[in-house]
Structure 1
């Protein structure tokens, strides 16, 4: 059976929706081609019933394979695979002329649409993709034979599809919970989360953190076992950058002294759990300064945490930190020398200023205080920092005097080293928003921060945040309060609303995204099965399916007789309801002619009586005089029923 234009147009729209879920990851030229083909095919099909020749379709398939290989290098992997699938789906429209082809294309469109969840599984995106299934189900419903109702309004098709999707949700939930799975989440495939935020990098140069500081996406969430630290103490250590080449700060791979920098805690330790969002980088965070972390994580000598390989799935781990401490009270001479190194030929004015402070007899504490006082009196915090030249620190300290955390921390460390004080840059996150509902701390990418550490005799590495001297609001109230106009998200209502709704994102991540085989095995603990194996899970799945189907059957049985009618019955029911407004109700054992006789007595001397007689005669002829009524006559009858108005109620 050949597709009608209406059916084909629905199929083309379904394909467009499925492809649209991938457009952000496809090359721009391929995206334009994929979006343009379905409307062009809809237009050409409306003008001519001629099918597309195989002599055109086959070369287009070969061309698609060639361009995917040229762009991605191969056909394997999520990115090239999704590009190829999108292209094949669009090309399938060129040969979809019959119901069988359309059903295959609609099923393939559902596969292409759901494959978008291999890239990101946020709750908003998942709900959006799932809602798009309504259009695909409406397309499949429109492909079913329905001679009397084939021209149903699109709204009716969508309502039916939404009902079908809703009925499938309990079955899908049962399959999600009890279908035996691999050790990782279903989407924990190699290379998952290709669109994850990159987060902090292992180098820092002027302006390198600008985009991160205006990114309001979540970076991680922290749940504390005791009271959360004060806002000013929420420093989360991530990367230590001791090497400086005049422009860029980088990590030091090998310390002179092997092993961890010793730390002496001077306050009770704090235990907490971090849920770190995918970043494609190995760097994790820990409250400054960490004492220990979960097995499987690496703690580097500078007391920073990292994972093995890039973080491609939400990473949950526990750690213990102490807020008051002495870190590395004794500094190895080689490490000390590294913490004093400055490149030759850079920033002469900065060196001169630090030398002058020393020549005036100022000790380490006085030099630090002088630098902070200078920042406080003469500098401005802004994300719209001017560009800096070759001598970036000189330009910043003596010319622009405007910047944000990376400018202040970099300049401060250079000043300290020029004055003979070992110093280094530390990057991480500072601040966060506390959720009273979820009882956790939400830290966004915009909370990224850079500060300094100086080594003082007897005290070890001491954190000094020069940004706090310039803009205390950044430390006490958070990044959005200090960002100003550059932070689009810091409106009076938008960010607070997103923060409050983040508890939903957290529950989604913990309950769905991180649902793996280990958690699945504990599902049946309430019924006495401590560790469910595949047999237990399959039995639970069968039981859940049986319970859902039984409940659905009982609901249908309790709902009484079916309310589904064809177009003719629906129009007759509408007529009966309108006549009932005049005082005459159809009886269960009454045929249309008997109903008309009673109505005549009630509608004496009214113009509606003749119209009612015509309508009843038309219904009898359509329902009983022919094997199958003509669709056009049924539609004409339904239109006349809509125009019929019952007279005032007759006593």
Structure 2
């Protein structure tokens, strides 16, 4: 029977399954909960069942089809990198059903190593890396155990601790080359290929707003971006992070105007206050960006539409950083062309007749636009409440909100207020983005979470242009019935009982993003300048990397060769003893047998009985069929020439 066909023993099987589970864990943490629990449960059942008797082929097929069906249902039968990763996890969970021989064990471990790499397609955080490294170590330990079983050299001495030390030494050997590649390999400004899209979109801002869509977004307390101010900071009430501007309305959905995207940005007169800041934007799988109202200029790679909807030419599938300056607007498009005015007044026919009647009555009572805006806000203060518990609207959504429910969240307030203004003859539009932020206690930066997503209104007033109006903020405090903080509890709310823990974790994640994920071509050049290397071209950088990589490879080869020469612990201990005597001028010649050398040392030093005794034991253990001498290695390590002098 070939070595690979040997039946795996119980200890080897346990280590293989443990390593495979460690590989699967970080991937499961990134999948939807239902899929993750189903895959983990079926994997555990398969592993336990296969330990007793082989799993029939038909049953493996049923399990595979069940998991594939579950994954496809979870992703809506769409294809993306999250679907592929979930299918990989499902197949890995069933793979232990074939674990019978050493070859099966190696096959399972090789397949399992794809799982940590697939995890990085979904998350590149430090936790995923740490779990991936742990999984890789356990895989190598399991492979060592399988090799020992195949060679018949399974040893209980040291056991897994010895194997772990061996693996860690191998990692340490390769670490210089890995660091050289990370720090010095030339960085490309843009990748050669893109990352496939997710089949299930991440919560985030979009260029549409429909009833009920925002609940998933504002119920997510994960960070959307981290902001560091350079100098003065605005009050949190002035932190309006502008995103897509929605001008078109079909009676149910607000959407961004396609043709306005191609017009140059409108004219903005800025005030004297300037805020200088950096934004680290989390991946969204979209190309939409945000900035504090209103940006003074746009950095490279950021574009703006006529309404200041900010976009990037590339899909944001990784952490991106933007340096911006913003200033509150004094006048924003003070001269509104008739075409744009008509668009900002357009309302769909056949919808919300009660809202239209109310707006026309108000307009008949006053010609002052600002007074009409204040009248609408006063109505909200006196009669409306804030709640997340709202039913999906019918055909006349705004009528239902204004005259029946009179309670909702920003999605309802901004939509109804904009339509009411338009019906009254005031140009208006919906603006989406984020509001506020939460200062991290361990770092000088602000966290803006997805739950900070907000929608407000811009109305056009003569002499001032577009003016921000936030009808949601007009709700009286005593009428706020149901908030996100209430639903998430203290643990999910800023300032809750567990906020120091979350602050510390986010601070660590931010450092990881800056030092590792954000190490781009610019950061690479900055590092080299700090080392005194100015203006490094790509060719020079490639040569520098080649030099450092060659040195690292030479170091690796020397250590591996040295380890191969002295793999036997007994032989290493013997060579170390010889080097101790060599420092006294009593080195053993290459042709000199051990006993002859020990005799010569004894003659030279007058008495070397301990050395002679150790040498006889070494010769017997190394060259004769003597019984095992487990204490010999320890005694060789402990012996020092000075002991002979004292005697």
Does TM, normalized by the shorter one, top 0.5?
Answer: yes
Counterparts of 1:154-173 in structure 2 under 5 Å? 156=161, 160=165, 167=172, 170-171=175-176
Structure 2 equivalent of residue 369 of structure 1: 374
Tell me the CA shift for residue 508 of structure 1: 1.1
Shift of 1:497: 3.4
Which structure 2 residues correspond to residues 34-433 of structure 1 after superposition, within 5 A? Answer: 36=42, 39-40=45-46, 43-47=49-53, 78=81, 82=85, 86=89, 93=96, 97-99=100-102, 101-145=104-148, 150=155, 156=161, 160=165, 167=172, 170-171=175-176, 174-178=179-183, 180=185, 183=188, 189-191=194-196, 197-255=202-260, 258-361=263-366, 363-433=368-438
Return the offset for 1:161.
Answer: 7.8
> 1:175–1:541: 8 Å Cα contact kept in structure 2?
yes
Offset of residue 189 of structure 1: 4.1
Post-superposition offset of 1:239: 0.7
Q: Hey, what's the Cα distance between the residues in 2 that align with 1:471 and 1:124?
A: 43
TM-score where L is the length of structure 1: 0.73
**How far, CA to CA, are the matches of 1:179 and 1:77 in structure 2?**
33
For the aligned residues, what is the CA RMSD? 4.8
Summarize the Cα distance change of 1:463–1:136 in structure 2 as closer, same or farther, 3 Å threshold: same
Distance 2:488 2:376 in 1: 28
Residues 444-459 of structure 1 mapped to structure 2, 5 A cutoff: 444-459=449-464
Q: Indicate how the Cα distance of structure 1 residues 45 and 551 shifts in structure 2: closer, same or farther if over 3 A, else same.
A: closer
Q: What is the rounded CA distance, in whole Å, between the counterparts of 2:557 and 2:532 in structure 1?
A: 22
Instruction: Give 1:153 shift.
Output: 9.5
Gaps of 5+ in 2: 563-568, 574-608, 614-620, 632-647
Question: Which stretch of the first structure deviates more once superposed, 157-166 or 492-501?
Answer: 157-166
Indicate which of 548, 551, 554 corresponds to 1:540.
548
Which residue in the other structure is 2:510 paired with?
A: 506
Secondary structure at 1:267's aligned position in 2?
A: coil
Change (3 A) 1:169 1:274: farther
The answer for the alignment partner of 1:640 in structure 2 is: none
Q: Secondary structure at the match of 1:126?
A: helix
Offset, 1:542: 4.1
- Structure 1, residues 317-342: CA drift from partner, whole Å, max 9, x if none? 23332213211101111211111122
Aligned with 2:259: secondary structure?
coil
Q: Distance in 2 between matches of 1:433 and 1:369?
A: 30
1:356 is paired with a residue whose SS is helix
Pick closer, same or farther for the CA change 1:591–1:37 going to 2, 3 Å: farther
Q: Equivalent residue of 1:145, what SS? A: helix
**Pair 1:524-2:517 in alignment:** no
Give the direction of change, closer, same or farther, for the CA distance of 1:100–1:361 in structure 2 (3 Å limit). closer
- C-alpha change, 1:516 and 1:107, in structure 2 (3 Å) is farther
SS of the equivalent of 1:118 reads coil
Contact map agreement 1:267 1:325 (CA 8 A) in 2:
no
Shift of the alpha carbon at 1:279?
0.7
Q: 1:125 to 1:257 in 2, by over 3 A?
A: closer
The secondary structure found in structure 1 opposite 2:212 is coil
**Contact 1:386/1:402 (<8 A) preserved:** no
Q: Offset of 1:141 from its aligned partner?
A: 3.7
Deviation track 1:135-172 (CA, whole Å, cap 9, x = no partner) reads: 32332343242878745799757965885587478447
Return closer, same or farther for 1:486/1:517 CA change in 2, 3 Å cut-off: same
Q: In 2, are the aligned partners of 1:386 and 1:400 still within 8 Å (CA)?
A: no
- Closer, same or farther: CA 247–495 of 1 in aligned 2, 3 Å: farther
* Structure 1 position 36, deviation (Å): 3.4
Aligned to 1:497: 501
- Structure 1 gaps of 5+ residues are 555-560, 566-587, 593-621, 635-651
Q: Residue 80 of structure 2 contacts residue 198 of structure 2 at CA under 8 Å; is this kept in 1? A: no
Q: How many residues align?
A: 567
Alpha-carbon offset, residue 301 of structure 1? 0.6
Retained in 2: the 8 A contact 1:186–1:516? no
Deviates more, 1:504-513 or 1:163-172: 163-172
Aligned to 1:486: 487
TM-score (norm 2): 0.74
The residue aligned with 1:515 is 519
Task: Name the structure 2 match of 1:11.
Answer: 16
Q: In structure 1, what is the Cα distance between the partners aligned to 2:505 and 2:482?
A: 20
> Structure 2 CA distance, aligned partners of 1:430 and 1:542?
52
